[in-house]
């Protein structure tokens, strides 16, 4: 099993969710986060004053998936989240040792 973390632009969330649903991944955890990478923020004009926005709004997805779904999930997220502009996001994949469904007591991939 793997824990996949994806950081994407907020307006791409629905597209990514739909793409993951099409390949059979129905569950995920979503958080609104702020951060920056290579884009380093930008300046905005508000009521005539210019100010620096250092952290960009992003959405963080966490998805627990089986090993055989990893490549399909990466392709789905990349395809749905890509705009071709800086700040499209990142995907991180880490091993997941165990999962347990609290309601039924199922463990491992059965709990996903």
Tell me the per-residue pLDDT of 83-100, one tens digit each, with 9 for 90 and over. Answer: 998 889 999 999 999 999
Q: Is 93 left (phi over 0), alpha (psi -120 to 50) or beta?
A: beta
Determine the average pLDDT of the residues in 49-70.
88
In words, the CATH class of domain 2-111 is alpha beta
Residue with tokens 């793997």: 2
Model pLDDT, residue 6: 98
Give me the residue spans of the domains in the chain.
2-111
pTM of the model: 0.85
> pLDDT-based confidence at 44, cuts 50/70/90?
low
């Amino acid at each position: 099993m793997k824990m996949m973390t994806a950081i994407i632009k907020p307006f791409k969330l629905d597209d990514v969710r739909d793409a993951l649903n099409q390949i059979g991944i129905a569950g995920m955890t979503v958080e609104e986060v702020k951060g920056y990478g290579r884009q380093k923020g930008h300046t905005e004009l508000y009521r005539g004053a210019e100010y620096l926005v250092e952290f960009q709004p992003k959405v963080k997805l966490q998805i627990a998936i089986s090993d055989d779904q990893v490549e399909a999930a990466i392709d789905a997220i990349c395809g749905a989240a890509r705009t071709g502009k800086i700040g499209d996001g990142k995907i991180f994949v880490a091993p997941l040792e165990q999962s347990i469904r609290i309601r039924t007591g199922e463990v491992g991939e059965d709990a996903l």
